[in-house]
Amino acid sequence: MADTLTIRTPGLATVQDLGRVGRSRYGLPAGGAADQHSARVANVLCGNDDRAPLLEITAFDFACVPSADILVAVTGAPADVTVDGSARSQWEPVSVCAGETLRVSGIRRGLRVYLAVLGSFEADYLQGSCAPDTILGFGPALSAGDELVLRAACPPLDHPYSRIPLFRLHAPVPPFPASWTIDVTDGPDRAEFGDTASRLFDAPFTVSPRSNHIGLRLLGEVPRRVTQGEILSRGVPIGAVEVPAGDELLVLHRGRGVTAGYPVLAVVTATGLSALGQVRPGQSIRFRHRTLDQAVTAHRAQRGAVDALRTRVRTAFDALRIRAPDTA
């Protein structure tokens, strides 16, 4: 029989990957991990392909038990990670022996935690991705007793006496501040807001409890459109900062529909989107204007840090003779 990862405390956890690239033309939302940086790093720390399936754990406590020895990595928001009650590090590979309970609890300062397993696990796919699609009813949240079929096992990698962690790979850990700063570039309709466009940057906004993976609702001093006329429905990008007629801003995230008819004042950058995926309801955010060149430079720097981490992981895994199957 295949080895499995059995869910004991599901909290609010789903099987995720980086989403459906290029499927917007067919009307499908991209979906995928809300914090793409943390998800990508978790897989890299396990020697997996960036797009391998992993778990996204949102807000609530989670626990699972493997039937074989495995190597995992837990990234994302700060949390308490334990293996049979012993504390383990985030943002580094961690050994879990068969029958031990891996627990993630006390998620704080951010909203989501990512759990990757060396070799990943089997998952169902829709249009090239295992990411859930709530509209189509694909990829429901995990339940207690669910079993994920593991693709690989890994002998325990732990110092038998001193309990010194084996890895110090220096993953690029982003900040998790009390108040977030989210980078944006100009949207296509900025000119339609006249002088009120500056309100986007003048004061913080508060995240509404009605926010979700489709988009965040923000309360604050909302910019106002000064031109007249209707806006035809059109394609909108992930990260679009929309301004409806009411008293909220809408920031579309990875579950967004592919068309909309509200004016788009700004667009969140790629690095800003990962940060936005960690913002909790009730927290405040400020927007910071960036040029396209600045946004591209920041994205390249973040991806470069992940690529450098991948090289360090490969070197360490080769030295330890750790081999992961192809997880692409």
Q: What is the pLDDT of residues 81-93, one digit of tens each?
A: 999 999 999 999 9
Residue 71 to residue 51: CA distance in whole angstroms: 18
In which band, very low, low, confident or very high, does the pLDDT at 258 lie, cut at 50, 70 and 90? confident
Where are any strands of DSSP class E within the chain?
Answer: 4-9, 13-16, 54-58, 62-66, 70-76, 80-83, 86-88, 93-96, 102-105, 112-117, 147-149, 179-186, 205-207, 215-219, 234-235, 240-242, 248-252, 259-260, 264-268, 284-289
- Contact (CB, 8 A) for 16 and 55: yes
pLDDT of 162 over the 80 cut: no
Q: Is residue 125's pLDDT more than 90?
A: yes
Predicted TM-score (pTM) of this structure: 0.95
Q: Give me the pLDDT at residue 156, please.
A: 82
**pLDDT at residue 155 tops 90:** no
User: Residue 81's pLDDT is what?
Assistant: 98
| pLDDT number for residue 327 | 64
CA distance 14 to 58: 9
Does residue 160 surpass a pLDDT of 90? no
37-51 confidence digits (pLDDT tens)? 999 999 999 999 999
Mean pLDDT of 57-86: 97
Answer yes or no: is pLDDT of 104 > 80: yes
Q: How far apart are the C-alpha atoms of 157 and 152, rounded to whole Å?
A: 15
CB 13 within 8 A of CB 33: no
